[in-house]
């Protein structure tokens, strides 16, 4: 039985979450707390396996509470975040300092009980409860590029860069990307495209956060946008992102085709599109995440003379997506997250 502590200042939210969780006979809510202070008092008494933690609370907010939990315990924490710019930024901060995953709160509180949220919450609780260790706070130094960003005028991509790097990730991805993308030099002989499973708004905050940390320019991808050297494009939440070749230029295509296995965007859609590109070298990486998204796409890249990388289990928050890709036989090299940037740089050149 998985024991869960719910921490939220809203009595209604606590009740809804409790009802959702206890629909599954493998999970039991063993306690509730109205704020972080109360939660910290209850944790040693209740000894939960998983904690759901609201981001914004009075007395002691979610970020402060999370830091204290990290100092004292090794308990996986799932954040509950409002769908606001502030909520997204705070959630990314929580993921950066040690939260394992998050669930977005719909604007209409009663939508929390929707089938998609129910399934998502229960699945995440079950997955994170099995984690053997929780990766703690990682320090990120704010050493961003100067205010005058490197601007590369897009012409024929064949003259501007020789490679495209496609990256796919899910649970644990924001932390992994913050360890990978800031190591990429601005003059890299490539353009970079990423799918991170996140809802709308959160992907924009992630792109902005990575941009402040990195030498390359990081942004959400826009439909019809020409891919440039030294740029990193993140698929916006709730859109599939693919890459197409038009007049010897690589462009982003966004669409609202149906979710695949409940996912939009999907890593598979991005990587399958990259596999079809002809006049460019292809490098693909699958990072930490639940499930198997990306396995089909990275197989296609491998079949089409691409070079493939998977994150090693030792640094994954959840060893699902990389494990699936490795088992499929599509992976050329398996590396810890701190070695993947060097491998990409060596493969594409400066």
Per-residue pLDDT tens digits for 13-66 = 899 899 889 889 999 999 999 999 999 999 999 999 999 999 888 999 999 999
Residue 135 lies in a domain: no
The answer on 90 and 14 residing in a single domain is yes
What was the pLDDT predicted at 105?
Answer: 78
List for the chain the helix, strand, coil content (%; round to 5).
40, 25, 40
The answer on 190 and 85 residing in a single domain is no
Active site residue 240: no
Residue 150 lies in a domain: no
Could you give the number of structural domains in the chain?
A: 2
8 has a pLDDT exceeding 70 = yes
The answer on 194 and 82 residing in a single domain is no
Residue 189 lies in a domain: yes
The answer on 21 and 118 residing in a single domain is yes
Distance CA 180, CA 305 (A): 23
156 has a pLDDT exceeding 50 = no
Distance CA 169, CA 321 (A): 8
Tell me what the mean pLDDT of segment 72-85 comes to: 87
Say if residues 76 and 129 touch (Cβ distance below 8 Å): yes
Distance CA 291, CA 124 (A): 11
The answer on 328 and 195 residing in a single domain is yes
What is the CATH classification number for the domain harbouring 100? 3.40.50.2300
Active site residue 205: no
> How far is residue 179 from each of residues 16, 33, 77, 120, 183, measured CA to CA in Å?
36, 33, 21, 26, 7
The answer on 104 and 232 residing in a single domain is no
Q: What is the pTM of this model?
A: 0.91
How deeply is 116 buried, as exposed, middle or buried, from its count of CB atoms within 10 A (0-12, 13-18, 19+)? exposed
The answer on 68 and 15 residing in a single domain is yes
How deeply is 83 buried, as exposed, middle or buried, from its count of CB atoms within 10 A (0-12, 13-18, 19+)? middle
Q: What number of residues does the chain have? A: 350
User: Could you say which of 91, 111, 129 is where a domain stops?
Assistant: 129
Residue 251 lies in a domain: yes
Query: Hey, is 307 helix, strand or coil?
Result: strand
User: Of these residues, 54, 81, 197, 240, which one is catalytic?
Assistant: 197
Distance CA 341, CA 65 (A): 32
User: Of these residues, 273, 293, 312, 324, which one is catalytic?
Assistant: 293
141 has a pLDDT exceeding 80 = no
Tell me what the mean pLDDT of segment 85-106 comes to: 88
Q: End-to-end CA distance of the chain: give it in Å, rounded.
A: 52
The answer on 168 and 117 residing in a single domain is no
pLDDT in tens, 254-303: 999 999 988 999 999 999 999 999 989 999 999 999 999 999 999 999 99
DSSP 8-class letter at 181: G
Question: For residue 108, what are the domain limits?
Answer: 2-129
State the CB neighbour count (10 A cutoff) for residue 305: 9
Active site residue 111: no
pLDDT in tens, 312-349: 999 999 999 999 999 999 999 999 999 999 999 999 97
- Cα 226 from chain centroid (whole Å): 24
Say if residues 285 and 183 touch (Cβ distance below 8 Å): no
Tell me what the mean pLDDT of segment 96-119 comes to: 76
Q: How many alpha carbons lie under 13 Å from residue 339 in its C-beta half-sphere?
A: 11
β-strand 163-169 against 281-286: which pairing, if any? parallel
Residue 119 banded pLDDT, cuts 50, 70, 90: confident
User: Of these residues, 82, 163, 170, 214, which one is catalytic?
Assistant: 170
What was the pLDDT predicted at 155?
Answer: 40
């Amino acid at each position: 039985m998985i024991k869960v502590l719910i921490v939220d200042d809203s009595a209604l939210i606590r009740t809804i979450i409790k009802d959702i969780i206890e629909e599954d006979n493998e999970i039991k809510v063993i306690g509730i707390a109205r704020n972080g202070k109360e939660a910290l008092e209850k944790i040693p008494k209740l000894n939960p396996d998983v904690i759901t933690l609201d981001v914004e609370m009075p007395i002691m907010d979610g970020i402060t509470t999370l830091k204290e939990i990290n100092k004292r315990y090794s308990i996986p924490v799932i954040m509950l975040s409002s769908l606001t710019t502030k909520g997204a930024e705070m959630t990314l901060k929580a993921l950066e300092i040690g939260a394992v995953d998050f669930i977005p709160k719909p604007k209409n509180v009663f939508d929390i009980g929707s089938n998609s949220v129910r399934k998502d919450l229960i699945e995440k609780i079950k997955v994170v409860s099995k984690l053997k260790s929780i990766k703690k706070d990682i320090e990120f130094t704010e050493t961003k590029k100067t205010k005058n960003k490197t601007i590369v005028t897009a012409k024929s991509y064949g003259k501007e860069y020789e490679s495209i790097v496609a990256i796919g990730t899910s649970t644990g991805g924001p932390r992994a990307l913050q360890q990978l993308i800031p190591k990429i030099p601005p003059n890299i002989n490539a353009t970079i495209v990423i799918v991170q499973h996140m809802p709308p708004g959160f992907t924009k905050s992630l792109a902005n956060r990575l941009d402040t940390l990195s030498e390359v320019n990081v942004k959400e991808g826009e439909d019809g946008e020409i891919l440039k050297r030294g740029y990193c494009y993140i698929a916006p939440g709730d859109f599939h992102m693919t890459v197409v070749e038009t007049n010897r230029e690589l462009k982003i295509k966004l669409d609202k085709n149906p979710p695949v296995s409940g996912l939009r965007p999907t890593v598979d859609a991005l990587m399958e599109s990259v596999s079809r590109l002809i006049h460019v070298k292809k490098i693909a990486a699958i990072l930490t995440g639940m499930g198997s998204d990306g396995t089909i796409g990275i197989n296609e890249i491998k079949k089409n003379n691409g070079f493939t990388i998977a994150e090693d289990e030792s640094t994954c928050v959840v060893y699902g997506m990389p494990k699936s890709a490795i088992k499929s036989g599509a992976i050329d090299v398996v590396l810890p997250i701190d070695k993947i940037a060097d491998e990409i740089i060596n493969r594409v050149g400066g």
